[in-house]
Amino acid sequence: MTKEYDLVVLGGGTGGYVGAIRAAQLGMKVAIVEKEKLGGTCLHKGCIPSKALLRTAELYRQMKDSQAFGIVTNSMRLQFDQAQNRKNNIIEQLHNGVKALVKKGKIDVYYGFGRILGSSIFSPIPGTISVEYENGEENTMLVPKNVLIATGSAPRGLPNLEVDGIYIMNSDHALQLEQLPSSIVIIGAGIIGIEWASMLTDLGVNVTVIESNDEILFTEDKDIIREVERSLKKRGVNFIKGALIDAQSIKIKENVTLTFEQSGKERSITSDKVLISVGRKPNIDQIGLTNTSIKVQNNSIVTNEMFQTSESHIYAIGDCIGGMQLAHVASAEAIVAVEHMAEQNPSPLNEKNIPTCIYSYPEVGRIGLTEQQAKEQGYNFKVGKFPFQAIGKAQVYGEKDGFCKVIVDSDSNDILGVHMVGPQVTDMISEASLAKFLDATSWEISKTIHPHPSLSEVFVETALSVDGMQIHG
């Protein structure tokens, strides 16, 4: 069977289905090829399920401290199976929502593995998509004018360290745990590793994080790193930094014993389970890139600023092109790519205007340059910093740790970067995103009236503190 389309999207994850919907809005005839479920990793194995469990951990931590709010509980226990049920119900509800949106857009969905073919009887240029089905059904041939590759990524492993899903896990396996272990070693102190460390320690698991670098979250601002590490250590997380794992010496019996080298000394640690959290790798194997002239570098597809590959009618977005590997980035890239196909003349994305978030406790939100990056890039800058402790709403919430930090260009007074660590900053960073997009100055932010009491007042006070004009500090 052969069908023609204006656009075929390889992958129905957050970037893929958003791109498909935007294309349908622009009048294109669109199809999605998805080997599993619409919504992709973010909905089923990443953003949504992990944040659902982090919410359980947050409530559990807060309820253990409820006496400070005048609430005394005689008994409280965690039912992890119920937390998992809640997570699964959220996923199912959102999955149904995505399917409804795709149906509303009159987008055809083919559930199978899509492979790009070279030039053939169907098309004189590469791009025909062969959809292969697990049940052995005859392949479907989709002949598009344009292709959008949105195949996402998968958890990256470590050499010589076999993942069995029981004792040695990645994040996919951890999300399906039926029972919490009493102890766990997390290898990798990036964003995903820190979120899992925060969640599991709040749920009562003994957590050790092993990191090969000399600091955790090494891409973040130094002040943020110190605050997150301080909070996690205070809650019982043990950090082993500058350590190299000897994967070949791993021993599995009723638990796992890992051997590692730190400061020239060999050490070992034993835990119930090990979680490998060392990043993600693009899903580009076997999708037919060798049938095209598409370039691959560092195992990622190479594109221009409009997300075109070297085959001008084939675009690629999201985790498979490397970059920031965030769901909201994939969606934004997909819209740019589709609008470029439709000759809408979209503006390219500016990475400095894209926020990133860490959903640990405390939360982290940032946009733009770190203080270290501002120095390296030769900016003449000034810094404002203000603690949540001086914000009335933070005291009311009982979450007064953390701060906001603003880095400002001394010559133009434009914002170079905003870094927040503390309560609800993954929501508040959106205001900083708008300010950054509009080239707002710290003076303009300081003149923007914020409601009292609110956590968002920290942004005003921080903007004022750039010039030593803060009111409450």
H helix or E strand, kind and range, residue 14: helix 14-25
Tokens of 214: 């000399």
pLDDT at 123: 77
pLDDT, tens digit, for every residue of 340-376?
999 999 999 999 999 999 999 999 999 999 999 999 9
At residue 1, does pLDDT exceed 90? no
Residue 168 pairs in a beta bridge with 274
Name the DSSP class of 351: G
- The separation between CA 450 and the C-alpha centre of its own chain, rounded to angstroms, equals 29
Compute the average pLDDT of residues 124-136.
91
CA atoms of 257 and 201, how far apart (whole Å): 20
Closest C-alpha to 414, from 450, 385, 386, 445:
445
Multiple choice CATH, 2-154+281-351, 1.10.3720.10, 3.40.190.290, 3.50.50.60, 3.40.50.800: 3.50.50.60
Fold held by 157-278:
FAD/NAD(P)-binding domain (3.50.50)
Q: How many helices (H) and strands (E) does the chain have?
A: 13, 24
- Token match 């809005």: residue? 25
Model confidence at 62, pLDDT cuts 50, 70, 90, reads very high
Exposure string for 11-41, b = 16+ CB within 10 A, e = fewer: bbbbbbbbbbbbbbebebbbbbbbbebbbbb
Q: How confident is the model at residue 120 (pLDDT cuts 50, 70, 90)?
A: confident
What is the C-alpha separation between 308 and 315, in angstroms, rounded? 4
User: How far apart are the C-alpha atoms of 446 and 471, rounded to whole Å?
Assistant: 11
Long-range contacts of 225-231 (CB under 8 A, 24+ apart): 227/362, 227/401, 227/402, 227/403, 227/421, 228/194, 228/358, 228/360, 228/362, 228/364, 228/421, 231/361, 231/362, 231/401
Q: Which of 270, 271, 277 is nearest to 212 (CA)?
A: 277
**Chain position carrying tokens 């965030």:** 326
C-beta separation of 169 from 196 below 8 A? no
Could you report the per-residue pLDDT of 153-210, keeping only the tens digit for each? 999 999 888 999 999 999 999 999 999 999 999 999 999 999 999 999 999 999 999 9
pLDDT for the residue numbered 125: 83
Q: Kindly indicate the confidence band of residue 248, based on its pLDDT and cuts at 50, 70 and 90.
A: confident
456 membership: H or E segment, kind and range: none
| Helix intervals (H) in 163-253 | 171-174, 191-202, 222-234
Instruction: Compute the distance between CA of residue 220 and CA of residue 455 in angstroms, rounded to an integer.
Output: 22
Catalytic residue check, 452 = yes
Calculate what percentage of the chain has a pLDDT beyond 70.
100
Catalytic one of 173, 328, 452, 472: 452
The 10 Å Cβ neighbour count of residue 225 is 19
Q: What is the pLDDT, as a whole number, of residue 73?
A: 85
pTM, to two decimals? 0.96
Residue 8 near residue 142 (C-beta atoms within 8 A): yes
Per-residue pLDDT tens for 446-473? 999 999 999 999 999 999 999 999 999 8
Query: Within a 10 A sphere around the Cβ of 455, how many other Cβ atoms?
Result: 23
Query: Left (φ > 0), alpha (ψ -120 to 50) or beta: where does 463 sit?
Result: alpha
Fold of the domain built from segment(s) 362-465: Enolase-like; domain 1 (3.30.390)
Domain ranges of the chain: 2-154+281-351, 157-278, 362-465
* Res 136: pLDDT: 86
The Cα 472–Cα 285 span in angstroms is: 56
Q: Is the dihedral of CA 343, 345, 349, 355 positive or negative?
A: negative
DSSP 8-state secondary structure symbol assigned to residue 215: S
Specify the DSSP element, H or E, that contains 372: helix 371-376
Are 2-154+281-351 and 362-465 the same fold in CATH? Answer: no
